[in-house]
Each structure stands twice: as structure tokens, then as C-alpha cells.
Amino acid sequence: MAGASWGDETWKDDDRVRVLHGEDVTPWKSFDDCCGAWKFPNGLMQFLIDAGFRAPTPIQAYTWPVLMSGKDCIGVAKTGSGKTLGYLLPGYENGPAMLVMAPTRELCQQIYEESDRFGKPAQIATACVYGGAPKGQQLRQLRNSPQCVAATPGRLNDFLRERSIDLQRCDYLVLDEATGASELLLDMGFEPQIEELSRYLPPVRQTALYTATWPREVKQIASKLTKDPTHIQVGCEDSATANADITQHVVKVRNEGDKMSFLENQVFPDLQRSLGAALIFVKTKKARLRLACTRRESLGFRGDMDQSQRDHALYAFKHGKAKVLVATDVAQRGLDIKNVQIVVNYDAPANMEDYVHRIGRTGRAGEKGDAWTCLYDSETQLTT
């Protein structure tokens, strides 16, 4: 389908769609296609049009009809392709209650913001539940009987054990970026937490899983939680496929000095000539602190910061108060920060799935971006 017309857009090679499992799907290629019996109400589509959307994205056009028919669905598409609205809007219509699980606090908060914005026309209230923050405010949100809950599994399981929430009315479950291939997520115990959570859910429900990568660990989670799902694949069927809007570069280095010289001579001058921002990934807290201190406009971001520090760093970066964010892998999954022009793998990621998620913080929603990866001779070239 490369080159085919798509609303006001043109499909690229990485927008080709395949139905890998399940019946053929007739996509809803326009917002007019999305309205009518057993579809979305006109008002909700008009809200999207008023918000500046011109047509459903490929992942939305193919997964919306599957989910609105009540079937389980697996949606695999590149970062920045509209997956969040792909699962939220059907959940608003298929309720009474939707639970969206995410592996990190930041992705959970981002889902909450999207649901709070787009759920209001459908009179959907959303609660946000994640660790590292006081429980009181989150409990108050839950006691107001929201129709949608965005949560990380650790904090939600805490509330379930305390019987502060009952999921027996939850008939629509979503796992967003439930990638278990990353060492970070394995260390966090995401998959065992999801398994514990599933014991509190009703056996009869609709389940959707959306992800940018499709490694073996994700397939295992999907097989346990879904029933005969329709699998929609946008782009290549490989387990890890980078966004074609991202120009990928490799920088061969011999030592830390070479890495710093590259930043000073290439990345920082590029930023000065543009309005964009840079996200720099490092492996260790020590490296993060060293880099964050090299430039006045830089901020650090890591998993062991308390929630207020993380919120402050992300707020400053999103709103242009800092042009450089130096982060560990906690920032690589699902974050949608509009102005990221450059991603730098100062330290190479552990595997291809992590690489795709990292560089996917740029080149989002049709914008162009650059990804630079510093590699020693002994390291494997990770670009696709």
C-alpha cells in the first residue's frame, strides 16, 4: 500500500498494514467512516477534527473496527503513530470500565493526560495510579468511580491487596508498551506484576495490547491475556523496526573524550541553530550527573529520583526551559515530547528493542528527527 492516498496524507513504506492473525479488516480511512451504527458518535469525531486531526492514522483505522466489534486486538506500530487514541476511543464506547496498564510512571501520566483531554466529550472521567507518589490523591480519584484508570501494575496491585479498588466491572483491558525484552522492565518485574493483576480481573473481558516492538516476551504476555486476537501490524514484521522519519547515524568512538567532543562539536551546535531539543541516553547515574553538569541548559532524569524531581525535569524539558535532557532508560518508553529533534545514545542500548524505543522519542507524528549512537569498536552496530 506504499504511496496510496490516506486522507490528506500519503502512506510511506513503513505504513503498510498487514492482518497477521484474524479475519480481514475493512479500515475506517476517514472520520466519516468512523461514524454510524456500532461506530463512534459524531460528536467524538468532530472533537478530533476540531483538535486538528485530518484522518485516522493507519493503526487507528485498522484497530478501531476490530475493537468496536468487541474482539481482542494486538496493534504493533512505530512510535508516534497514534496508538494511544487507537485504544482509548473504543474503550470509551465499550465500557463500563477501562483499565490501561503501562510499565512506567511517565507513560502512565501521559496516557492520563490524553484520556483526560479526549474523554471529556464522551463524559469519561480518568484516574491515574502510579508508584512514587502519595496514595491519598490517587485513592480519592478512584473513589469517584472513574470510567478509565491508567495505572502502573505495582501501585495498582498495592490498592488491590488493600481492597481499595475492585476490578470485577472492568471489561476492557489495555496493555500499552508491555515490552518485556528490556532488562529494565524485567528488573522491575513488569510481567509477574501483570500476572498477579490478571487474577483480580473478570475472566470475560476485551483485551488490547499495543506496542512498537514485538519480541518473544511480548508474544508471551499477549498469549496469556488475549483470546483469539486480531493482530494488526503496521510496517515491517520484524520484532524491532525503526521509524523511517528518523535519520540514524553511528559515531565510532575510542573513549569518553571522543563522546564529549562529539556532543560539543555536533549535537550542541545543531541545537543552537534550531528550536528543537535533545534527549541523551546514558547507562549510569554517574554518566548522567557528569553530562547534566556540563551545560547550564541540561537536566538529568533517572529512575531513582523522587516523583517531584522527575515531574519537574519533564515539565521543564517539555516546555522548553531546558534544551537537553540526560536520561537513563526510564525515559525510553512511550514518552511523547513534541520538540525532540535529536536523540543521542551516548551509551549504546542493550538490545535492538531498547534502541527502537529510545530513538522513537524523535520523529513523532510525521516530524523528522535525527538519532546518533556512539559505538566502540567492540560494540555491535544497532541501527536498522
Structure confidence at residue 113 (pLDDT):
92
Identify the segments of the chain with pLDDT beneath 70. Answer: 1-15, 178-191, 236-243, 285-307, 330-336, 365, 380-384
Fold designation for 246-375:
Rossmann fold (3.40.50)
Quote the CA–CA distance of 7 and 77 in Å, as a whole number: 19
CB burial of residue 278 (10 Å; 0-12, 13-18, 19+) = buried
Structure confidence at residue 68 (pLDDT):
95
The residue ranges of DSSP E strands in the chain, in sequence order, are 5-6, 9-10, 17-21, 73-76, 98-101, 126-129, 148-151, 172-176, 206-211, 230-234, 246-252, 277-281, 298-301, 324-327, 340-345, 369-375
Residue 22 is placed in which grid cell? 484474524
Phi, psi of 362 (to 5 degrees): -115, 175
The DSSP result for 325-357, as a single string, is: EEE-GGGSSS---TTEEEEEESS--SSHHHHHH
Structure confidence at residue 365 (pLDDT):
66
| Sheet architecture: strand order including 324-327 | 246-252, 369-375, 340-345, 277-281, 324-327, 298-301
pLDDT in tens, 87-112: 999 999 987 799 999 888 888 988 99
Which residues, in sequence order, are bridge partners of residue 324? 278, 298
Structure confidence at residue 363 (pLDDT):
78
Structure confidence at residue 305 (pLDDT):
55
Same fold, 5-234 and 246-375: yes
Quote the CA–CA distance of 17 and 334 in Å, as a whole number: 21
Return the domain boundaries, the chain: 5-234, 246-375
Structure confidence at residue 357 (pLDDT):
79
Quote the CA–CA distance of 133 and 255 in Å, as a whole number: 39
List Cβ neighbours of 12 (8 Å cut-off, separation of 6 or more). Answer: 2, 244, 245
Using CA atoms, how far residue 43 sits from 19, 122, 324, 381, in Å, is 29, 8, 40, 48
Using CA atoms, how far residue 384 sits from 251, 361, 368, in Å, is 15, 16, 17
Structure confidence at residue 172 (pLDDT):
96
Nearest to 140 by CA among 157, 174, 165, 120: 165
Structure confidence at residue 211 (pLDDT):
86
Structure confidence at residue 286 (pLDDT):
60
Residue 318 is placed in which grid cell? 517539555
> 5-234: which CATH number, 2.60.40.150, 3.40.50.720, 3.40.50.1100, 3.40.50.300?
3.40.50.300
